[in-house]
Amino acid sequence: MPIKKLKEYLDENNIKYITISHSSAFTAQEVAAHAHIPGKELAKTVLVKINGKMAMAVLPASDKVDFDLLKHAIGNENVRLAYEQEFMDKFPDCEVGAMPPFGNLYGLDVYVAKDLTQDEEIAFNACTHSELIKMSYKDYERLVKPIILEFSFQSML
């Protein structure tokens, strides 16, 4: 989904958002720094496999996925990080690693770290490594209807 389709989806749902352009950055922390956004307000999308099914884990850029917590929270031991080769074809119009956290548009379950729900606004990659969308977290939650769990911890970078 190119950013155009994502914007159309947001517009169709009367969502207020802004687009932020920044120089290319590839890690969530680099993106946050380039865009002058606190790492806790930048939502990063991590692809995971749960019982062989792809899903999105969405968490603050300043956090990391705690797979033991995630396994416990969803009650399933068969959870792991997805390999790039496993999800590249699911997001043909996005740069690898720049998928927006809208699993509902890709037929994927979405798990959001509870820490992210504390932010009034979130920003996230918009299919490229040089554009973000910033919007209300409540609007994001209303559109995506994620499962909210505790599965992240603050990274000590």
Q: Whole-prediction pTM value? A: 0.90
pLDDT of residue 1: 45
CA nearest to 111, candidates 81, 72, 79, 70 = 70
% of the chain at pLDDT higher than 90: 62
How confident is the model over 13-72, as pLDDT tens digits? 999 999 988 767 666 666 666 666 777 788 999 999 999 999 999 999 889 999 999 999
pLDDT of residue 157: 53
Q: Would the pLDDT of 112 be above 50?
A: yes
Q: Structural domains in the chain?
A: 3-154 (3.90.960.10)
pLDDT of residue 156: 61
Contacts of 138 (CB under 8 A, 6+ apart): 120
How confident is the model over 63-109, as pLDDT tens digits? 999 999 999 999 988 999 999 999 988 888 888 888 999 999 999 99
* Mean pLDDT, the chain, integer: 88
